[in-house]
Amino acid sequence: MLTYAPGDLSAKIKNRYKYRFEDVVPLTMRACNDLGYMAAALKQCGHEVFLRDYKIEKATALDFLDDILTFNPDVIVISTSNINLVEDLKIIRMIKSSNPEITIILKSELFFNPSDEILNNLPMSGVDYAIGSDAAFVLPKLIDAHFANSGEVSDIPFIIIFKNGQAYKNNFDAQGGDINSLPLPDRSLMKNEYYYRPDNKEVIATIITGKGCNSDYLHCGEAQLAGLRIRTPENVIEEILDCYKNYGIRNFFFPSDTFSNDEKWIERLCDLMKENNITQDIDWIAVVNPAKFTEYMASQMKSAGCSMLIIRFEAGSEESLMRSKCGFSADECYNTAEIAQKTKLKIFGLFTMGFPWEEESHIIETRNMINKICPDYLSLSFPVPFPGSEIEKIYRQDNILKDDLVANNVIKIPALGTKFISHKVLKGLRRSILLRYYLNPKLLLKKLKEISKNPSEFMNYIKSARDVVKKR
């Protein structure tokens, strides 16, 4: 069984960030590709696979238990996140107590070479193995070694073995697998209809184009993973065509931060879309890097069916951009926004405020950038000091964060201010920035122009603005 366990869809993130979570298209409607990749790799090796994303279906723990009784699995793999981990561990203990013979494997990037503090302070009883990276490569080998003794489990990289109350970490310095050799995610097992764009209610497929990161960016969850690996355009178009021809999917989201690393790569992918005569039929969204985005890329993407760019502008302050190791400048942010607007590509702007070093002047610079760019959609969030992250270390060095993040069987995600601004004041500043944004005449004009084509778009704008005005 390959699952996202039952539970609210990152409810704590929703409460933490205070934006209209259901309208943040690229951040919420990602399909369970990791389960799809694992399913395809396992089926290729002859295993019978059951796959279900209980979270997106809003299914219950009873639904999960019913499926376990019906399918009677030898192995349950639960893919989790920092936010959902503790609740998922409770479900694991419940499953293990009712059937100790089931092998439980937990998959999360948190388990890529975690600190002993994390492992010692989490209630991992019931978990047999944890996988921290390259699960589609690792899982078939782990299953075979565990059940068929075809090799030693201790030789398999990127896993943690839990045995007799101890955790044993296996070779996190190994090279990752060739992602172009993986079978395509098995979408026949995925309930694709649950992953849709809130703006047009159409099914959207997430297409991962790369794994790993070549940046030191403080927020990057993949920087630690072994090496940067990019799929070929030919490999990517094969997945797009599989979605288009076999599942009728015409909306695509490319979330990889490395999507715009190579102009020739984008040119080739767009050419392949045109050669396959699908550009008039599809609509896609991609994440681009302000340091690497060009007008030529934008024109190629637009001509191949792209309608929106996700741009991590991050901050309006040059100091914050430099200290957060973004790898781009404020001028490059403005230039990328200008290219998008010139090419008539919508902008989903991602901004962060409240870095440990920030004073009110830094926040004002971010506010000014938001007002000047006036993105079509906006996410304005606070840094989250996940256990073991670089940003957590900075919060500790600056004596802003003093408590343990992992304690008493709980991962705490505290609401933090900066060295100079309390969290309460920070929340007020955020609210005033959002009010300015939603009342920006440029944004109002954009939304009014869209009413005739898509009335629900304007209603989403009204709801978002209303949420900001409400008392928090």
Q: 75-79 and 103-107 as β-strands: parallel, antiparallel, unpaired? A: parallel
**The pLDDT value given to residue 10:** 45
> Could you tell me the residue ranges of all domains in the chain?
2-170, 196-382+417-469
DSSP 143-186: HHHHHH--S-GGG-TTEEEEETTEEEEE-TTSPPP-GGGSPPP-
**The pLDDT value given to residue 468:** 63
In whole angstroms, what is the distance from residue 16 CA to residue 94 CA? 28
Report the chain (472 residues): mean pLDDT per 10 consecutive residues. Answer: 80 36 46 94 96 92 94 95 83 92 93 84 90 91 86 87 90 86 95 84 91 68 62 97 96 91 96 97 95 95 96 95 92 97 95 95 97 93 81 90 71 82 93 92 85 69 66 48
Q: With respect to CATH, is domain 196-382+417-469 assigned 3.80.30.20?
A: yes
CB contact at 8 A, 171 and 157: yes
Region 2-170: CATH code? 3.40.50.2300
DSSP 66: H
In whole angstroms, what is the distance from residue 188 CA to residue 421 CA? 50
**The pLDDT value given to residue 227:** 64
**The pLDDT value given to residue 183:** 95
